[in-house]
């Protein structure tokens, strides 16, 4: 039986060693120049390479913000009680709208009165009969169109 526990103990040592090796590999990867925490180098052929490199250099020299730099809490924000009142007012307005537009709350009645009022407001002009000048202009247009027209050839070509 002792023999079996020895195998288990050696297996535990093996797992601990593998975990330590992977931890060390991860730490060296973070410390390498190609760390995910450092910006990648810009392509030198890019037209914005100089600006990108300058921005990367500025980000390395940036100062971390402090808690004192956090702006003050605004004073023109509604309180929770005011929000609750506003939500209640919106719910009341929504319920009133649903009641006012529910099926059966309105009907079409007095359609003839509505139509006559619409006709009075529209003031449709009486249809105008064409004058002699209109007829002469139409005839002149038709004559000019006939003169420009050519008949199709009588024989197929």
The yes-or-no verdict on residue 97 having pLDDT over 70 is: yes
> Which residue did the predictor score with more confidence, 27 or 1?
27
User: Coil, helix or strand for 92?
Assistant: helix
Q: How many percent of the chain have pLDDT more than 90?
A: 27
**Dist. CA 102–CA 100, nearest whole Å:** 6
Asked if 51 and 39 count as a contact pair (C-beta separation under 8 A), the reply is no
Degrees, nearest 5: CA angle 73-75-81: 105
Degrees, nearest 5: CA angle 25-26-27: 90
Residue with tokens 């093996």: 14
User: Model pTM?
Assistant: 0.29
Degrees, nearest 5: CA angle 19-25-27: 105
Q: How many helices (H) and strands (E) does the chain have?
A: 5, 0
């Amino acid at each position: 039986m002792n023999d079996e526990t020895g195998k288990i103990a050696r297996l535990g040592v093996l797992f601990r060693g593998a975990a330590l090796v992977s931890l060390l590999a991860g730490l060296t990867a973070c410390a390498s120049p190609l760390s995910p925490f450092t910006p990648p180098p810009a392509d030198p052929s890019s037209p914005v390479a100089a600006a990108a490199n300058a921005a990367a250099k500025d980000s390395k020299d940036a100062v971390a913000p402090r808690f004192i730099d956090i702006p003050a809490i605004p004073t023109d924000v509604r309180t929770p009680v005011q929000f609750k009142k506003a939500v209640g007012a919106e719910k009341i307005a929504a319920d009133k709208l649903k009641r006012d537009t529910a099926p059966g709350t309105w009907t079409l009645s007095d359609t003839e009165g509505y139509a006559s009022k619409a006709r009075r407001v529209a003031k449709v002009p009486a249809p105008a009969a064409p004058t002699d000048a209109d007829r002469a202009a139409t005839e002149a247009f038709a004559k000019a169109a006939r003169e420009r027209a050519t008949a199709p050839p009588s024989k197929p070509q």
